[in-house]
Amino acid sequence: MQIRDYRQEDLAAVQRTWRECGWVDDDDGAAHIEDFLADAHTRVAVLDGEAEAAAAIHDGTLDHTGTSLPCAVVTAVTTSRVGRKQGLARA
């Protein structure tokens, strides 16, 4: 297993994983994943050359009693069926 930054060529594998998880159910929904990931810091776990898990983090700000604080939010974590059988969800 290798963990690395998301690359554009991982998009089809990430879309497949989101379908397997039930987060999108058609090509129209899957098409929006690219836009979602464009603003994220995303890491993927790769097995046999294919991204089988992905975690996306978005930067943001949090207003606390009138003070804007920078923050990062984990906005998506998905693991394919193959990845779950290999323990990627835990990793």
pLDDT in tens for each of the 91 residues of the chain? 899 999 999 999 999 999 998 888 877 777 889 999 999 999 999 999 999 999 999 999 999 999 999 999 999 999 998 888 887 777 6
Which of 56, 82, 57, 83 has the alpha carbon at shortest distance from 71?
A: 57
Q: Is 29 helix (H, G, I), strand (E, B) or coil?
A: helix
Q: Which CATH class is domain 2-85?
A: alpha beta
In this prediction the pTM is: 0.85
Position 37 scores a pLDDT of: 94
Answer yes or no: are the C-beta atoms of 53 and 76 closer than 8 Å: no
